[in-house]
């Protein structure tokens, strides 16, 4: 089983190592029993092309649903499901508080799996990459981040789920800063939980949502700008200019680089977006979707248990706390997705 999160009514973000968890997603339930219902099939997906099933680097994947996820609101109307906004914020302050939620294992016995009946949450504190790298044998890259709380942690089955900034009581202000990725056991004080760092993938995620289905990207994402396309034609002008220009246009050299040209940082590009991977201004002249999604179809499955005790393991002491009704109303729509599998019980492996 894996977690996941809606980043628009049509797109789901999860961990790349969850890619074979299931063929459909279950939207919005707060109890595990409801997981059987409200399944939405997946029609397309983009796994990060540099995902590494040994190191869990680039553990991020986007799935496109067959239809928008819908919920019934308080007045009984069917409306598009709320989704969480990707946060571009770079978390770097030790002790910063974040919230992780999921249906993962809550059984302290390492040999049995007991998925939570209700969606659970725990607040965890940021641990810097240097300290976390020391704990995790130098295996923490810049695009991972770590968090911990005494006796509390994400655990088996929470993978793919969200790590959130929750600045207010209003879930609409939540920001997605991480994806549950891996750890050594669960809630072990020596080993913080490890998350995919969203700020490292912000550009990749929005660009690939646009490439999968630009009409279904969230409203704060401008796919025309991101893909370097002409804006959709608006109404033709009805009046012709009243006077001819007095000056002819000057031909000073461009101060910014056009799409496809090499760049070092966003400011180099006319689009103000430098692709962090290709180091070219957004997007390359002929953006080939097949090239960008070349990692598709690989399998993480359940057989990629890392060596040396590093696991997507099982709860030792405690995992996520039950959400109270009040907390549920805050977080109910921050995580509206969970998806199931039976392939990845790493503790069953030899
Ligand atoms: C998992 O297998 C998993 N304690 C997720 C998080 C952690 C361990 C395992 C971190 O889904």
Distance CA 350, CA 348 (A): 7
Instruction: Return the closest-CA partner of residue 103 out of 348, 347, 336, 346.
Output: 336
Q: Is the distance from the beta carbon of residue 180 to the nearest atom of ligand 1 less than 6 Å?
A: yes
Q: Is the distance from the beta carbon of residue 217 to the nearest atom of ligand 1 less than 6 Å?
A: no
Contact (Cβ atoms closer than 8 angstroms) between residue 158 and residue 172? no
Instruction: Return the closest-CA partner of residue 183 out of 298, 17, 62.
Output: 17
Q: Is the distance from the beta carbon of residue 59 to the nearest atom of ligand 1 less than 6 Å?
A: no
- Closest ligand 1 atom to residue 183 Cα is 10
Task: List pLDDT tens digits, range 171-201.
Answer: 899 999 999 999 999 999 999 999 999 999 9
Question: What per-residue confidence (pLDDT) applies to 32?
Answer: 66
Q: Measure 310 CA to ligand 1 centroid, in angstroms.
A: 10
Domains and CATH numbers, the chain: 5-227 (2.40.10.10), 266-348 (no CATH)
The end-to-end CA distance of the chain, in Å, is 19
Instruction: Return the closest-CA partner of residue 176 out of 186, 184, 167, 185.
Output: 167
Question: What per-residue confidence (pLDDT) applies to 324?
Answer: 41
- Does the annotation count 59 as an active-site position? yes
Task: List pLDDT tens digits, range 281-323.
Answer: 766 543 333 222 222 222 222 233 333 345 453 323 346 655 4
212: its two tokens: 């999968």
Higher-pLDDT residue of 71 and 150 is: 150
In the predicted model, is pLDDT for residue 263 greater than 90?
A: no
Asked which of 22-26, 75-79, 165-169, 316-320 is least confident by mean pLDDT, the reply is: 316-320
- Does the annotation count 159 as an active-site position? yes
Q: Measure 274 CA to ligand 1 centroid, in angstroms.
A: 33
Catalytic-labelled residue, pool 22, 59, 135, 268: 59
> What SS3 state is found at 97?
strand
pTM value? 0.73
- Does the annotation count 136 as an active-site position? no
- Closest ligand 1 atom to residue 194 Cα is 10
Q: Measure 148 CA to ligand 1 centroid, in angstroms.
A: 12
- Closest ligand 1 atom to residue 159 Cα is 11
Tell me the pLDDT of the chain averaged across its residues: 78
């Amino acid at each position: 089983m894996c977690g996941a999160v809606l980043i628009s009514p049509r797109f789901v973000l999860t961990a790349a190592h969850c890619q074979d968890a299931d063929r459909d997603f279950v939207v919005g339930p707060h109890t595990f029993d409801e997981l059987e219902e409200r399944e939405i099939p997946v029609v397309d997906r983009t796994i990060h092309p540099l995902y590494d099933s040994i190191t869990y680097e680039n553990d991020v994947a986007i799935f496109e649903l067959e239809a928008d996820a819908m919920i019934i609101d308080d007045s009984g109307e069917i409306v598009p499901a709320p989704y969480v906004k990707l946060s571009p914020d770079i978390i770097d302050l030790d002790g910063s508080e974040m919230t992780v939620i999921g249906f993962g294992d809550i059984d302290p016995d390492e040999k049995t799996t007991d998925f939570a009946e209700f969606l659970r949450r725990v607040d965890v504190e940021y641990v810097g990459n240097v300290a976390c790298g020391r704990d995790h044998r130098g295996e923490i890259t810049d695009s991972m981040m770590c968090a911990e709380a005494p006796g509390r942690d994400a655990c088996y089955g929470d993978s793919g789920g969200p790590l959130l900034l929750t600045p207010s009581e209003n879930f609409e202000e939540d920001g997605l800063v991480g994806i549950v990725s891996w750890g050594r056991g669960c809630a072990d004080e020596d080993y913080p939980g490890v998350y995919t760092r969203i700020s490292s993938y912000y550009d990749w995620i929005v660009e690939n949502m646009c490439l999968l289905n630009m009409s279904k990207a969230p409203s704060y994402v401008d796919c025309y700008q991101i893909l370097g396309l002409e804006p959709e034609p608006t109404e033709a002008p009805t009046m012709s200019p009243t006077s001819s220009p007095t000056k002819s246009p000057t031909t000073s050299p461009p101060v910014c680089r056009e799409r496809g040209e090499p760049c070092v940082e966003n400011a180099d590009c006319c689009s103000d977006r430098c692709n962090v991977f290709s180091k070219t201004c957004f997007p390359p002249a002929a953006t080939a979707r097949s090239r960008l999604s070349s990692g598709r179809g690989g399998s993480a499955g359940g057989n990629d248990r890392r060596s040396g005790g590093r696991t997507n393991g099982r709860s030792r002491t405690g995992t996520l706390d039950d959400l109270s009704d009040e907390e549920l109303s805050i977080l109910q729509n921050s995580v509206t997705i969970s998806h199931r599998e039976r392939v990845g019980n790493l503790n069953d492996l030899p």
